[in-house]
Amino acid sequence: MQDELIKEIVQAVLIRLAAGDPKDAKPIKQSAQPASNQGERTDLSQPREAAGENLEDLAAVDLQQEIMVPHPVDGAALEYYKRSTTARIGVWRCGPRPLTRTLLRFRADHATAQDSVFKDVSEDFLSRFNLVRVQTMVKDKDQYLTRPDLGRQLPEGELEKIRRECPPKPQVQIVIADGLSSRAVEANLADILPALKQGLASYRLATGRDIFVKFGRVGVMDVIGMTLAAEVVVLLVGERPGLGTSESMSAYMIYKPGPETVVADHTVVSNIHKGGTPPAEAGAHLATVVKCIYDAKASGVKLAQQ
């Protein structure tokens, strides 16, 4: 994938910078041996050679897990926190500036996040699913980013298409939207959708025909729910990408949306991706949540109050 290619390119550049002579370039990784106690300092400044020089080896070098602080007072604590978060901690510096490898990784992650926002979900990918495909009143990506209100509305022609191609009054209506991350849809949908539908079937909850909304915001699920008179609506949508991941998806659920529906009426499960809640596991969990919503005839704050 493009994200992996960016990582490989950054790794290759870093190795050339660190090695000096491209002919002798080898991956650079700091020794991660923790200090035995807080008072003992471990020299982590010397590079450790990794075998091989091809891009497969470079891709295995994880800059985020490198210990780059030259003489940490508590190496064990630093290693623990580095491995517990994708946040940029303990990245060290060169004078007032970040190290070159840190800056390159930041720019690569930022570029990946931008691509996730501005790229559309692949047509080839969408063709793998039997989806009714509609578009909100948004005309292009720039308008999507500047007019969130238009991403919650569907033109009458698209509403008529939904009425024509989707069965009315489904127990559960599943909607997929690109949101702010096309990568989230492409990375997770193939795993989360079958798990969700299999779980709903096990609870004897019937689903309508799945809908994909281009340039969709969360509020569009309420419009679709009212149009089809659905009991429960589930929206799978790409989250705003960060520098830790650009593939995170959220799932919003609501019971019988109507004109008076507010944000607090939605139940949400977020952080669905391979580094958070795996998509297949999330799909099974969402089916359980939908069953609770269906039985309680409430969602969001109202469900929590029961």
Average pLDDT for 83-88: 76
The whole-number pLDDT of residue 244 equals 62
* Burial (CB count <10 Å: 0-12, 13-18, 19+), residue 127: exposed
The whole-number pLDDT of residue 89 equals 80
Report pLDDT digits (tens) over 27-76: 434 444 443 333 333 343 444 333 334 443 433 445 555 667 888 888 88
The whole-number pLDDT of residue 265 equals 96
275 vs 284 pLDDT, higher one: 284
Report pLDDT digits (tens) over 153-206: 999 999 999 999 999 999 999 999 998 888 889 999 999 999 999 999 999 999
Phi, psi of 299 (to 5 degrees): -145, 170
Distances in whole angstroms, Cα of residue 244 to Cα of each of 82, 84, 85, 129, 165: 13, 12, 9, 29, 39
pTM confidence score: 0.71
Report pLDDT digits (tens) over 214-246: 999 999 999 999 999 999 999 999 887 766 677
For residues 220 and 51, what is the distance between their CA atoms, to the nearest angstrom? 51
* Burial (CB count <10 Å: 0-12, 13-18, 19+), residue 262: exposed
For residues 123 and 253, what is the distance between their CA atoms, to the nearest angstrom? 26
- Does residue 249 carry a pLDDT above 50? yes
| Domains present along the chain, CATH in parentheses | 2-118 (1.10.30.40), 123-304 (3.40.50.11240)
pLDDT band, residue 21 (cuts 50/70/90): very low
